[in-house]
């Protein structure tokens, strides 16, 4: 796809309803974009795609490169992911004292994108960055809210690395995560996860791009998706993806 | 685009908020699909695309071919439209006694598409088909609910023609119209509109296709879109698009 178009597979409400047993080969997702986030089959761990490489950040604290080899016994599949070929349109250096501070920086860099997706990355040093990693479903169909109740949360002190994120508009809550949704991986590719809190160590580099076109594939042939209620659970999504 | 992918420009919630002054050239929309529906700038009339031709059905009962000529003084723009290159995957002949009957036929023809868009067309004779046509906004920013309060409704007796429609999943209410959304044009291209009620004269031909990929463009550079709340108004959409 051209740069700065969003590709997404499935919707967040499907994860809320526990639709995570099938998905698509991750290599197919990454064919649409080199920068993004998502999850793995059975919601095992957190997915980050950065500069065309892709990792699974697991609840035991380990990080492994995703297996994109077709037909490999450990080939990775994703039941939900969002990616883009990120090309920064604006950037700034900013000190960020809390997660809310990211919103302010994005609003300054993309004032005309209130009602569309924004992709961003943040590179630099963090005094502290708190990440969670999902352990995965205990049984097929277990919803994200229950999966998240067993998530592992750690605070990484003095970490250098990259945040990959999207800010999505409120009217797409349930399709995506409304507001800021960020995953992090450190420079050594040894730690990371879904970002719950962060504090930069001095200024970090924030780069953004507005995404005005979305290509969305839904899970064709997935009986669990076809049977899912997919009712909007705004509070639930905020609780688990906030 | 390949057949049976949905292209949509903007979202229904933007019409609810009155975002209809700008839009995109209709020729750009129709480059993505030959079968679809939508509206025109300022919500003047109803749009139907059928076999690659496109008409504006107006509140005075007239029907005119849309002007797709770039730079023409009467070139048409659309603030909201959904189109696909329709290729029927299943079809049946059925007698349909009311609008609700369409849902039943679609459910039989596309049982695995509960949670994705379905495109359909219905060809044949109707004992009666009731259509509305929007007069358009009285002022820029007037919302669809108020625009619809002045709609013109007519019942066409003994009409032959084609219904072009989409059935969209509940979780996309506000992005599209959840449930069945249909526009009609008669065989002579002299009458039609947004379908409120219908009764077939004997059996009509119903053809469907499942749409698993959506390409959505949002109104870049449209200050009204950027400022719109786009809050979900489920009851309002049902009232005006039902």
- Written as one string, the DSSP assignment of B53-76 is EEEEE-TTS-EEE----TT-TT--
Nearest to A17 by CA among A36, A43, A46: A43
First-to-last C-alpha distance (Å) of chain A: 29
Question: For residue B113, which residues of chain A lie inside 8 Å, CB to CB?
Answer: 226
d(CA A147, CA A160): 28
CA angle B80, B233, A109 (to 5 degrees): 65
Model pLDDT, residue B1: 93
Model pLDDT, residue B233: 87
CA angle B45, B160, B177 (to 5 degrees): 45
Q: How confident is the model at residue A234 (pLDDT cuts 50, 70, 90)?
A: confident
Query: pLDDT tens digit string along A148-202?
Result: 999 999 999 999 999 999 999 999 999 999 999 999 999 999 999 999 999 999 9
Model pLDDT, residue B239: 87
Q: How far is A168 from chain B (nearest CA, A)?
A: 13
Q: How far is B157 from chain A (nearest CA, A)?
A: 38
A1-12 average pLDDT score: 97
Q: Which H or E run includes A61?
A: none
Model pLDDT, residue B241: 82
Query: pLDDT tens digit string along B166-210?
Result: 999 999 999 999 999 999 999 999 999 999 999 999 999 999 999
Q: How confident is the model at residue A48 (pLDDT cuts 50, 70, 90)?
A: very high
User: In chain A, what are the domains?
Assistant: 6-241 (3.30.1330.80)
Average pLDDT, chain B: 97
**Interface probe with A: pick from B218, B224, B225, B233, most Cβ of A within 10 Å:** B218
Q: How far is A216 from chain B (nearest CA, A)?
A: 5
d(CA B49, CA B81): 10
A43-53 average pLDDT score: 97
Question: For residue A237, which residues of chain B lie inside 8 Å, CB to CB?
Answer: none
Residues in chain A whose Cβ is within 8 Å of chain B: 11, 13, 112-116, 169-172, 174-175, 210, 212-218, 220-221, 223, 225-228, 230-232
Which of A169, A228, A230 shows the shortest C-beta gap to B230? Answer: A169
Sorted by sequence, the CB contacts under 8 Å of residue A39 that are 6+ apart come out as: A15, A20, A45, A46, A47, A78, A79, A80, A81, A134
Per the listing, tokens 């040894």 go with: A190
Average pLDDT, chain A: 97
Model pLDDT, residue B145: 94
Model pLDDT, residue B234: 85
d(CA A133, CA A153): 7
CB pairs below 8 Å between A and B: how many? 75
Nearest to B63 by CA among B55, B53, B54, B75: B55
Q: Is B65 left (phi over 0), alpha (psi -120 to 50) or beta?
A: beta
Query: pLDDT tens digit string along B17-55?
Result: 999 999 999 999 999 999 999 999 999 999 999 999 999
Question: For residue A223, which residues of chain B lie inside 8 Å, CB to CB?
Answer: 112
3-state secondary structure of B105: helix
Q: Which H or E run includes A20?
A: none
- The answer to whether B192 and B185 are in contact (CB under 8 A) is yes
A194-223 average pLDDT score: 98
Query: Per DSSP, what are the bridge partners of residue A157?
Result: A128
A62-80 average pLDDT score: 97
The tokens describing B174, both together, are: 């506000």
Q: How confident is the model at residue A233 (pLDDT cuts 50, 70, 90)?
A: confident
**Interface probe with A: pick from B171, B217, B222, most Cβ of A within 10 Å:** B171
What percent of chain B stands above pLDDT 90? 95
Q: Under an 8 A CB cutoff, do A214 and B212 touch? A: no
The tokens describing A189, both together, are: 């590719």
d(CA B131, CA A173): 33
Q: Under an 8 A CB cutoff, do A212 and B217 touch? A: yes
d(CA B2, CA A192): 39
| DSSP 8-state class, residue A119 | E
Q: How confident is the model at residue A232 (pLDDT cuts 50, 70, 90)?
A: confident
Q: Which residue in B has a C-alpha nearest to residue A216's C-alpha?
A: B214
Largest CA distance in chain A: 49
Q: Which residue in A has a C-alpha nearest to residue B213's C-alpha?
A: A217
**Interface probe with B: pick from A115, A172, A222, most Cβ of B within 10 Å:** A115
Q: How confident is the model at residue A239 (pLDDT cuts 50, 70, 90)?
A: confident
Which of A112, A216, A230 shows the shortest C-beta gap to B214? Answer: A216
Q: How far is A160 from chain B (nearest CA, A)?
A: 35
Q: Under an 8 A CB cutoff, do A170 and B217 touch? A: no
Question: Which DSSP string do the residues of A184-201 spell out, in sequence order?
Answer: EEETTSS-EEEEEEEEES
Which of B115, B174, B213 shows the shortest C-beta gap to A228? Answer: B115
């Amino acid at each position: 796809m051209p740069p700065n178009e969003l590709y997404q597979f499935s919707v967040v409400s499907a994860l809320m309803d526990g639709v995570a047993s099938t998905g698509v080969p991750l290599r197919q997702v990454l064919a649409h974009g080199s920068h993004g986030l998502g999850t793995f089959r059975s919601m095992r761990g957190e997915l980050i795609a950065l500069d065309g490489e892709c990792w699974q950040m697991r609840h035991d604290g380990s990080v492994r490169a995703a297996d994109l080899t077709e037909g490999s016994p450990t080939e990775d599949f994703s039941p939900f992911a969002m990616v883009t070929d990120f090309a920064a349109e604006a950037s700034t250096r900013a000190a960020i004292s809390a997660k809310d501070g990211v919103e302010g920086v994005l609003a300054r860099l993309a004032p005309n994108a209130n009602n569309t997706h924004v992709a961003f990355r943040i590179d630099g040093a963090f005094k502290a960055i708190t990440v969670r990693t999902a352990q995965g479903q205990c049984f097929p169909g277990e919803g994200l809210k229950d999966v998240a109740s067993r998530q592992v949360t750690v605070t990484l002190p003095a970490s250098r690395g990259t945040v990959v994120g999207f800010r999505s508009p409120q009217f797409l809550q349930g399709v995506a995560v409304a507001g800021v949704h960020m995953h992090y991986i450190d420079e050594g590719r040894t730690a990371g996860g879904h970002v719950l809190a962060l504090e930069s160590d001095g200024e970090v580099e924030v780069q953004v791009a507005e995404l005005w076109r979305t290509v969305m594939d839904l899970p064709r042939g997935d009986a669990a998706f076809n049977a899912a209620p997919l009712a909007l659970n705004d509070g639930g999504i905020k609780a688990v993806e906030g």
